[in-house]
Amino acid sequence: MAVLKKRFGQHFLHDEGVLQRIASACLAAPGEQTVEIGPGGGALTAHLLQRLERLHVIEIDRDLVADLGRRFPPPRVTIHEGDVLRFSLCEIGASGLRVVGNLPYNISTPLIFHLLDQPCIQSMVFLLQKEVVDRLAAAPCGPDYGRLSVMVQARCDVAPLFAVSAQAFTPPPKVESRLVYLRPIPHRIPAPDAVRFAKLVATAFSQRRKMLRHSLKAYFAADDWRALGIDPTRRAETLAFEEFAMLAAYRSPAEAGVQEPSTP
């Protein structure tokens, strides 16, 4: 029996109905490369193998790796021992990877950004803390909308699926969980604007109660707001990611190297 280790934030999913629904949601077809992150005791692994010919799993706990190797021998399951935050999934497949997992809550946000940087991934299905999924999928002006919402929605489509109660896990976590489907959209924010986009979003939400003309005064003057057609009295939480993308793409005449006409 697998021994839980607190340092890895482990909560093993045991509800067979939930496991079946997660395996169905990952939409992997026979022959496609699929990666399970954090298989733990292998409960979801077993359900995935009912649909797939082969599966890659990434597990950091070496004791669990040994158990998984006995339960799921190669060639159907390839086990990668290590920290997924340091792992390049594109070493498994150059394109079209489907990723699934019951993620430890303590690494879920950095892991999502780590995976969004890997162009080989086609889709991700993750069981996360419900509050995190609410933030990922939040719409502008809502109570859950913030920097995380903008940065993730700028890089992928987000579709919340179904809720999972704490009693579906061993041990039960102190929070509710929710399954979410993420589909990366390459180049939604053009590469030349990506760094500026991230800086603008971070700056605006660091002072989210301030009007844009104040929080982003280092970037835009009154004439810039008029040219953009964005009301500078709005606040960061009212802007969709498309509007932040517009801000990132905008260059004032001075930045663009355009000389103002001289007065005759």
Q: How many angstroms separate the CA atoms of 27 and 179, rounded? A: 14
Cα–Cα distances in angstroms (integers) from residue 92 to residues 69, 103, 115, 157, 226, in the given order: 18, 20, 13, 23, 49
Q: What is the pLDDT of residue 236?
A: 97
CA dist 71 → 12, 22, 101, 234 (Å): 16, 20, 18, 56
Distance CA 230, CA 236 (A): 12
Q: Which two tokens stand for residue 67?
A: 């158990």
The class of domain 191-249 in CATH terms is mainly alpha
| Predicted local confidence at residue 120, as pLDDT | 94
Token pair listed for 148: 């995380």
> Are 21 and 48 spatial neighbours (Cβ–Cβ below 8 Å)?
no
H helix runs in 172-240, sequence order: 191-206, 212-215, 222-228
Closest CA to 240 of 186, 201, 207, 209: 201
- Cα separation, 225 vs 166, whole angstroms: 47
Report H helices in 58-182: 62-71, 108-116, 130-137, 147-153
Question: Is the peptide bond preceding residue 75 cis, with omega within 30 degrees of 0?
Answer: yes
Is the bond preceding residue 171 a cis peptide, omega within 30 degrees?
yes
Q: Could you tell me where in the chain the CATH 3.40.50.150 domains are found? A: 6-184
State the pTM of this model.
0.89
Q: Which amino acid is at 169?
A: F
Strand boundaries in the chain, DSSP class E: 12-13, 34-37, 55-59, 77-81, 97-102, 121-129, 156-164, 169-170, 177-184
Residue with tokens 């399954």: 179
* Residue range(s) of every CATH 1.10.8.100 domain in the chain: 191-249
Token digits for 254? 């001075």
Sequential pLDDT tens for the chain (264 residues): 455 544 444 578 999 999 999 999 987 776 779 999 999 999 999 999 998 989 999 999 999 999 999 999 999 999 999 999 999 999 998 889 999 999 888 899 999 999 999 999 999 999 999 999 999 999 999 999 999 999 999 999 999 999 999 999 988 888 899 999 999 998 899 988 999 999 999 999 999 899 999 999 999 999 999 999 999 999 999 999 999 999 999 987 756 554 444 443
CATH superfamily of 6-184: Vaccinia Virus protein VP39 (3.40.50.150)
Q: How far apart are the C-alpha atoms of 225 and 23, rounded to whole Å?
A: 48
